[in-house]
Structure 1
Amino acid sequence: MTSPRPTLYLIDGSAYIYRAFFALPALNNSKGLQTNAVYGFMTTLLKIIREHRPDGLVVAFDEKGPTLRHEEFKEYKAQRPPMPDGMKAQIPYIHRVVEALNIPAVKQVGYEADDLIGTLARQAEQAGHDVVIVTGDKDMLQLITPHVRIYDPVKDKWSGDAECIAKFGVEPGRVVEIMGLMGDSSDNIPGVKGIGEKTAMKLISQFGSIDELLRRLDEVTPTRIKTLLTDQADNARLSRKLATIDTQSPVEFHPESYRIKPPHDEQLAELLRELEFTSLLKSLQPSPKQSETKTPAPSIIEDESAAQRFADSLPQNTPLAVHCLFAGHPGVHADLKGLALSSGGHT
C-alpha cells in the first residue's frame, strides 16, 4: 500500500497581514501599539496548525523595493496607497510571531510572495508532497494541479480544478490567459480596456490562448471586440506576463527545514505578554497536569469470611452502592447471579 503524501502548507503572509489589518477593528496594547494585524495573522497561523495539522509549513512575505514586474511595467501596483503607519509598525511583530512559533519564512529581493510560493509548490509537488496554498488571491488558481490546492481560511473554502473551472470556465493553466485580457485593477495590470471577465472567459474558452486569439482575429465577433484586441495586442501580452506567477524564483524546497516543529515557548510567551494577547497566551500555555485517579481493582467475595473483611474495611455510616447482576431479562425472567457493592474507594 502506498504511503500518503506528506502535506506542505504555503501561506501568503503579506496578503494576510493586509487582510487582518483592514478586516479587524482597531486593537491597541497599553503602550499604544496597534496590534490588530498581528492578532489576526497569528490566529490564522494557529488555525492552520491546530485544525489542519500539516507536515510542513512555510510563510512567504513580499520584500521591500521594486520587483521584476516593475521592470516590465513601471505602473505595476502604482495605484496602491502607501502602507498605513499602523500596519507598518506591526510588521516586525508579525515576523517575531513567525519566529517564536518556529515557522520558516521566505522572502527574496525582486520577487513577490506569490512567486516564492509558486516555486516552492512546484518543487514540493515534484518531491512527492501534496501542497496547500493558503490565500484568498484568485491569481493563485493558476498554480492548481492534482497535488496543489488553494485554501482560504477566512471563507473556509477549498479550490481545485473543479472550482477553478467553475469560476473562470477554463482549467488552471489558462487562468493567466483570461487575466491577460481582463487585467487586474488591484495590481494595476491593464489588460485590454473594454474587455471584462465574461468576455475574456468566452474568448479564451473559444480560442484557448491570447496568442491563438490574436492569430485568428478575423474570426472574432463583434467588430468592437476585434478592434480592441487589434489596438491593444501588446497590452494583452504584457498583462499575461505580469499576471503569471514565476515558478523558477531563487528559493529551494528543503523538506526537513520546513517540517512542523514545536514553538519556542518562552520566546512566544514573552511576545504575547508584550502584545497583551492574554487569551492567546492562556490558550497556548500547557494545562496543569491533573492528578491521575486510579480506579481501584475490584475484590471478589466468594465466601462469608471475604464478605466480613469487606464489611470491616468500611468506615461507619458509609454510603454503599448496590448493583444486581442478572442472567436473563431483569423484570421478566432472570436469575440473580451476584451483587456488586461499592463505597467509592472499596469495590
Structure 2
Amino acid sequence: MNPHLLLIDALNLIRRIYGVDANQTHHSDEHMLKACCARVAHACKKLITTTNATHAIAVFDGDKSWRYHFYKDYKHSRAPMPQTLKEALPQFKAAIEETGIVVFEPTNDEADDIIATLAHKAANNQINNTIVSTDKGFLPHLNEQIEVYDYFKKQQLTQQHIQERFGVAQHKLIDFWALAGDKTNDIPGVKSIGVKSAQQLVNQYNTLEEALSDESLSARLQKKLADDMDMFVISKQLVSLRTDIHLGFSLKQLRLN
C-alpha cells in the first residue's frame, strides 16, 4: 500500500461536532461531552478508512502564535472557546489517541501552520496527504499530492470549488484575501477595498505593482492601493500559512498501528 498521510485540524473538527451536540437535549454536560467525544472518535476512524491513511496526526493550536505578536488585533473579536469545551479538551485528545492517531499540540504555533508544514514535507517526499478542515486557509496549498477534505460536506475541495466560492483562481487567493481582508480572523486588508474590487484587481493584474502602474486603472482605486499598501503587506503575511516550521518528529512516528 502506498503511504498516505491524514492531517486533521483537530479543533476545527471538534468545535463543529461540539456545536451540534451542545444544542441537543442531554441529561448533563458530562453526558453531552461523552457523546461528543464518541462522535469525534467515530469521525477519526471514518477518515482513516475514507482516505486509506497509513499515517495520521491530529493537530491542536498552541498558545499565542507569531500572528498575535505580528498584528495585535489578530482574532481580537473572535468569541472565546466555551469553558465546558476548553476543560474537556483532554478527553477529546484521549478519544482521538484511542483511534491510533497521534495527537500533537505545539507550544506556540497554530495548527494551520503545522499542518501546512507537514503537508508540504510529505508532498516533497512524494507522499500523498489529505488535510481535513473547513478552514479556507489551506486552499492555496492544493496540488496533486495535497488534498483538502470537508468532513461535514463529505466533499473533496477542488480548483472549481475555489473559483465558484471566491471568484478567483487558486494562485490568486492570497492576494485576494490580503486585499479584501478576512473578518473571521480580523485581518484588515486594504481600507475600502471590498470583495468585488479585490476580485477585479487580482483577476486583471498579476501583481499590485502592475495595477498601480496601469494608467487606465481608476484614480480612486489607485489611491486606495497606494495609501494602504502597508496593510496589504501585513495582511498578506497573516493569511499566508508557514510551511517551514521545525517539527521535532518524523513521518515514521505518525504511522498507524
Mark yes or no: TM-score above 0.5. yes
2:256 aligned residue: 260
**Matching of residue 160 in structure 1 with residue 158 in structure 2:** yes
2:244 aligned residue: 248
Taking structure 2 as the reference length, the TM-score comes to 0.89
- Amino acid in structure 2 at the alignment position of 1:46: K
Instruction: Describe the superposition over 1:193-235 as per-residue Cα deviations: whole angstroms up to 9, x where unpaired.
Output: 322223212211211234544x4264423x3322321221111
- CA distance change for structure 1 residues 37 and 175 in 2, over 3 Å: closer, same or farther? farther
1:14 aligned residue: 11
Is the Cα–Cα contact under 8 Å of residues 119 and 249 in structure 1 kept in the other structure?
yes
2:64 aligned residue: 66
How many equivalent pairs are there?
255
Is the Cα–Cα contact under 8 Å of residues 10 and 60 in structure 1 kept in the other structure?
yes
Measure the CA separation in 2 of the matches of 1:196 and 1:253.
42
Residue of structure 2 aligned with 1:234, choices 214, 230, 237: 230
1:116 aligned residue: 114
Measure the CA separation in 1 of the matches of 2:50 and 2:120.
24
Cα offset, 1:259, TM superposition: 1.6
The farther-off stretch of 51-60 and 164-173 is 164-173
Measure the CA separation in 2 of the matches of 1:68 and 1:148.
25
Measure the CA separation in 2 of the matches of 1:160 and 1:39.
30
**Matching of residue 136 in structure 1 with residue 103 in structure 2:** no
Measure the CA separation in 2 of the matches of 1:37 and 1:16.
11
- Amino acid in structure 2 at the alignment position of 1:94: F
- CA distance change for structure 1 residues 92 and 246 in 2, over 3 Å: closer, same or farther? same
- Amino acid in structure 2 at the alignment position of 1:52: T
Measure the CA separation in 1 of the matches of 2:142 and 2:161.
10
Is the Cα–Cα contact under 8 Å of residues 7 and 54 in structure 1 kept in the other structure?
yes
- Amino acid in structure 2 at the alignment position of 1:197: V
Task: Give structure 1 regions of 4+ aligned residues with deviation exceeding 6 angstroms.
Answer: none
Measure the CA separation in 2 of the matches of 1:23 and 1:228.
42
Is the Cα–Cα contact under 8 Å of residues 107 and 116 in structure 1 kept in the other structure?
no
Cα offset, 1:247, TM superposition: 0.4
Instruction: Describe the superposition over 1:255-308 as per-residue Cα deviations: whole angstroms up to 9, x where unpaired.
Output: 3211222xxxxxxxxxxxxxxxxxxxxxxxxxxxxxxxxxxxxxxxxxxxxxxx
Measure the CA separation in 2 of the matches of 1:15 and 1:210.
33
Cα offset, 1:34, TM superposition: 4.0
Cα offset, 1:136, TM superposition: 0.7
Aligned alpha-carbon RMSD (Å)? 2.3
Is the Cα–Cα contact under 8 Å of residues 58 and 103 in structure 1 kept in the other structure?
yes
Is the Cα–Cα contact under 8 Å of residues 6 and 128 in structure 1 kept in the other structure?
no
Q: Percent identity?
A: 27
Measure the CA separation in 1 of the matches of 2:32 and 2:75.
26
Residue of structure 1 aligned with 2:174, choices 167, 173, 176: 176
- CA distance change for structure 1 residues 41 and 219 in 2, over 3 Å: closer, same or farther? farther
SS at match of 1:11: strand
Cα offset, 1:31, TM superposition: 7.3
- CA distance change for structure 1 residues 183 and 28 in 2, over 3 Å: closer, same or farther? same
1:56 aligned residue: 55
2:100 aligned residue: 102
- CA distance change for structure 1 residues 212 and 248 in 2, over 3 Å: closer, same or farther? farther
Greater fraction helix: 2
Measure the CA separation in 1 of the matches of 2:238 and 2:127.
28
Cα offset, 1:124, TM superposition: 0.3
Measure the CA separation in 1 of the matches of 2:98 and 2:237.
37
Cα offset, 1:53, TM superposition: 2.5
Which runs of 5 or more residues in structure 1 are unaligned? Answer: 262-347
Cα offset, 1:110, TM superposition: 2.5
Is the Cα–Cα contact under 8 Å of residues 180 and 240 in structure 1 kept in the other structure?
yes
Cα offset, 1:176, TM superposition: 0.9
Cα offset, 1:5, TM superposition: 4.4
The farther-off stretch of 174-183 and 16-25 is 16-25
- Amino acid in structure 2 at the alignment position of 1:147: Q
Cα offset, 1:183, TM superposition: 0.9
